A and B are shown apart, each in its own frame.
Chain A
Amino acid sequence: MTLLEVNNIEMQYGHKPFMFKRGRKAPVLQEVTFSLQEGECLGIVGQSGSGKSTLGRIILGIERPTKGEVLFQGINLYEATSKHKKIIRRDLQAVFQNSYHSFNPKQTIFEIIEEPLLNFERFSKTDRQHKVKELLDCVELESTIAQNYPSQLSGGQQQRVNIARALALNPKLIVLDEAISSLDMILQKHIIQLLQTLQKDRQLAYIFISHDLQATRFMSDRVLVMQHGQLVEEIGKDGAYKHLASLELYNAILPSHPRERTINNT
């Protein structure tokens, strides 16, 4: 079943003309159309400035596009009634790159993960405690961590708390915007494996936004390549590509052994 449909999205930043000032508009996204099935992982790659993150924010409903529509489970994100909006908020979650900045520094980890439960569920306090413990377990964190503050955790732990919070309401889709880019390699591997097991267990769909083609291809069923605000190519499981933008991203993949060096030969 189709979970998400993005139709002809256009986005412009800028300001309107005012008195003697001419208006200015910078197109960020143009004619972006794609759809996502339930339980699918879709990768979106592109260089910085290609509009990946803006697209992610539009899908999440944080920013309203200038043109076009986003249908989540058949409901238009920007014309939904407040009742529908509540359902969308529940089924659509996000994990961002900068894990620390997505927390309230004055809340403990327990309060952070508990918050979505308070907003959407009617649990008793003991039930909530159980649920938070279960979620921490899910992301392979000790339950003793719940009493700590975000600043006391390492980057990898913080990112896991972010994932636990996103999982709290059993969402259908999680948008991962550069979720692993700021972590070191060993942690990246851990988080990717964690995301994959969670996907299998819970029938989650992901939108994995990254500039790292290698990690994205490993994670995703198919990968969309973006350039200058447009989707230029879709790379399937077979990995065949034609467009120059994809070639550029492929060329930028670093070797896994010094024998395969590319810089020295050019």
Chain B
Amino acid sequence: MEKVLEVQDLTVKIGEKNIISSINLTAYKGRVLGIIGESGSGKTMLCHAIMQSLPASAQITQGQIIYQQENLLNVSATKLRTYRGRHLSMIMQNPSIAFDRIQTIESHFRESLKAHFVMTKNEMRQIALDAMDKVNLPNPQQLLHYYPFQLSGGMLQRMMIALSLAIQASVYIADEPTTALDTVNQKQVLTLFHRIRSETEAAIILVTHDIGVIAELADDVAVMYQGEIIEHTNVYDFFDAPQHPYTKKLLQSRILF
């Protein structure tokens, strides 16, 4: 297993309060790392810390984020910009807010591609069409001219994944990608992540509060509770031999249904 991204001893503070306390994580090539925890456990903050897009009030006080043998916390702003988006791609929870509502889908693709590559409009369009085709969006040619509000939530979420695919990121950070979707769309998006894992060999960090999502997709699981990772194991061990009392409670909440 090849390491792609490593988080070492990461601590994030807002004021004096620890939001995340010394977290260690590793994402491997072609594997899905599932991060599970209840609301308020610091899952989203962790994603933003890795992307270095924390709100101004939050500060990273210690730790390292290692990608391609470099500590992302120490690289220059220019270099960070090339990593962010080109190598590390984030897929947000709420697709209807993440898009710019006065730009068409095509200009979203153009904007992202222009930031990282030099290419002509036709090339960009071709890449956009291919990416949309990969995520099973119907009529890509027509969708290019649509505005975000003309698409449904499930389609927008797939569009967001298509944007990441177009850039061929090597780490996908998906923050509750299916929470805003209904179950049928959720299944489609999870299938998509499975295909990304097997076809592009990217590392996927999947943040969720749904054990079903973990059971369906994850290879490794990290359980987050009050800003700490209390358990970090293989997915089978997570289900068969949970160690921490909180993990056990989490698993019991599933058996009910």
- A residues with CB within 8 A of B: 47-49, 154-155, 182-189, 192, 211-215, 218, 248-249, 251-258, 260-264, 266
Chain B CB within 10 A, most for which of A218, A256, A260: A256
- From A218, A248, A261, B257 is in contact (CB under 8 Å) with A218
Task: Return chain A residues, CB-CB under 8 Å to B239.
Answer: 257-258
Name A's interface SS: loop
- From A192, A251, A264, B256 is in contact (CB under 8 Å) with A192
The 4 lowest CB-CB distance pairs between A and B, nearest first, are: A254-B212, A211-B182, A184-B209, A252-B183
- Say yes or no for B140: interface residue by CB 8 A criterion: no
Please report the C-alpha to C-alpha distance between residue A253 and residue B257 in the assembled complex, in whole angstroms. 11
Nearest-Cβ distance from residue A189 to partner chain B, whole angstroms: 4
Please report the C-alpha to C-alpha distance between residue A253 and residue B181 in the assembled complex, in whole angstroms. 13
Task: Return chain A residues, CB-CB under 8 Å to B216.
Answer: 254-255, 258, 261-263
Chain A CB within 10 A, most for which of B183, B191, B211: B183
Decide: A48 and B236 in contact? CB cutoff 8 A: no
Decide: A256 and B255 in contact? CB cutoff 8 A: yes
- From A182, A256, A258, B236 is in contact (CB under 8 Å) with A258
Please report the C-alpha to C-alpha distance between residue A218 and residue B256 in the assembled complex, in whole angstroms. 8
Task: Return chain B residues, CB-CB under 8 Å to A253.
Answer: 183, 212
Q: Mark B144-188, 1 if CB is under 8 A from A, else 0.
A: 000000001110000000000000000000000001011111110
Nearest-Cβ distance from residue A45 to partner chain B, whole angstroms: 9
Decide: A48 and B255 in contact? CB cutoff 8 A: no
- Say yes or no for B4: interface residue by CB 8 A criterion: no
Decide: B215 and A258 in contact? CB cutoff 8 A: yes
Nearest-Cβ distance from residue B155 to partner chain A, whole angstroms: 11
Task: Return chain B residues, CB-CB under 8 Å to A260.
Answer: 215
27 A–B contact pairs at CB < 8 A? A155-B39, A184-B209, A185-B38, A185-B209, A186-B38, A186-B249, A187-B39, A189-B253, A189-B256, A211-B182, A212-B183, A249-B183, A252-B184, A252-B186, A253-B183, A253-B212, A256-B255, A256-B257, A257-B215, A257-B239, A258-B215, A258-B235, A258-B236, A260-B215, A262-B216, A263-B190, A263-B216
Q: For residue A218, which residue of chain B has the nearest CB?
A: B257
Task: Return chain B residues, CB-CB under 8 Å to A213.
Answer: 183
Decide: A48 and B182 in contact? CB cutoff 8 A: yes
- From A182, A185, A266, B254 is in contact (CB under 8 Å) with A185
- Say yes or no for B250: interface residue by CB 8 A criterion: yes
Task: Return chain A residues, CB-CB under 8 Å to B210.
Answer: 185, 254
Given A48-B182, A254-B186, A256-B211, 17 extra CB contacts under 8 A: A49-B152, A154-B39, A184-B209, A186-B38, A189-B256, A214-B257, A249-B183, A252-B183, A252-B184, A254-B190, A255-B212, A256-B257, A258-B216, A258-B236, A260-B215, A261-B216, A263-B194
